[in-house]
């Protein structure tokens, strides 16, 4: 793919300070996109030749997303790409969940994506091009004990992806989801820090290893390119073969 496949495009990426979000930011930036990097606590982003600006925002709060929209448009003038990557996970039995914990997971993973789509999708209309990528999870399709809130939020995100794809297709805007399996990111650090649990996960991955964040970056770049214009309303599972079993 051309090193300038996204030249001149403006991409908003939530949860961009680390992990998969940062990997996607690097891939899109190297392809020429201008980056609006969104996180609750912005981290320095230094990549030679990439134009990027940091914005502080908790995407689960409507007022903060409204303020973010205004700030991004003032800085870049438009938005062409939105990647909803901000996410949290609370691992415990559903009978032990507090309502606040449940609302925190749903609010960030699902409601946050809705608020971001509502804010930025209108700026993509009238161009014949637009890309929305929602970060779902293989836990949208299968699950594990202790993942009730996370699976619920990510399955809901797939439903929203399908509906929004149908709404925005006439404007040339595609809406896709990516469903990662086990990736070595900060969110999964509690699992990675437990050798026994880590090995249990690794043993269930047919390719024999956890995913690398760069793999998601490459996939996101493809989905945002002109080459992916016929892909919309579904998700791509990238899980090392976990769900094939």
pLDDT for res 96: 97
pLDDT given at position 1: 60
Q: What is the tens place of the pLDDT at every residue in 172-219?
A: 999 999 999 988 777 777 777 788 888 888 999 999 998 999 999 999
pLDDT at 48: 83
pTM given for the model: 0.95
The number of folded domains in the chain is 1
Q: Is residue 208 part of a domain?
A: no
DSSP tag of 122: G
How many CB atoms are located within 10 Å of the residue 48 CB? 6
Residue 30 sits in a domain whose CATH number is 3.40.50.720
**Domain carrying residue 85:** 10-186+214-236
Q: Which of 150, 183, 210, 242 is catalytic?
A: 150
Rounded distance, CA 175 to CA 35, Å? 19
**Position 179 in a domain:** yes
Within-domain flag for 201: no
Asked whether residue 2 carries a pLDDT value surpassing 60, the answer given is no
Question: Is residue 108 situated within a structural domain?
Answer: yes
Confirm whether 4 is domain-assigned.
no
DSSP state letter for 35: E
Smallest Cα–Cα separation from 29: which of 2, 16, 56, 11? 11
Residue 198: inside a domain, yes or no? Answer: no
150 in catalytic set: yes
Structure confidence by residue, pLDDT tens digits, 85-99: 999 999 999 999 999
Better-predicted residue by pLDDT, 190 or 112: 112
Residue 1 included in any domain: no
* In-domain check, residue 137: yes
């Amino acid at each position: 793919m051309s090193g300038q496949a996204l030249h001149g495009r403006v991409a908003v990426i939530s949860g961009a300070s680390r992990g998969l979000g940062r990997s996607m930011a690097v891939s899109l930036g190297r392809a020429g996109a201008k980056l609006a990097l969104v996180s609750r606590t912005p981290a320095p982003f230094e990549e030679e030749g990439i134009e990027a600006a940091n914005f502080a925002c908790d995407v689960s709060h409507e007022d903060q997303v409204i303020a973010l929209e205004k700030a991004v448009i003032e800085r870049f003038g438009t938005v062409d790409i939105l990647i909803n990557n901000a996410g949290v996970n609370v691992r415990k039995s559903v009978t032990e969940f507090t309502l606040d914990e449940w609302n925190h997971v749903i609010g960030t993973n699902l409601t946050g994506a809705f608020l971001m789509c509502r804010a930025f999708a209108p700026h993509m209309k009238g161009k014949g091009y637009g890309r929305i990528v929602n970060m779902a999870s293989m836990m949208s399709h299968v699950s594990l004990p202790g993942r009730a809130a996370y699976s619920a939020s990510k399955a809901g995100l797939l439903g929203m992806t399908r509906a929004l794809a149908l709404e925005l297709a006439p404007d040339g805007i595609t809406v896709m989801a990516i469903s990662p399996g086990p990736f070595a990111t900060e969110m999964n650090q509690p699992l990675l820090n437990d050798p026994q649990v880590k090995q249990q996960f690794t043993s269930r991955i047919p390719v024999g290893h956890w995913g690398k964040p760069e793999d998601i970056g490459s996939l996101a770049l493809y989905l945002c390119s002109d080459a992916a214009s016929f892909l919309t309303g579904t998700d791509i599972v990238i899980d090392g073969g976990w769900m094939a079993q």
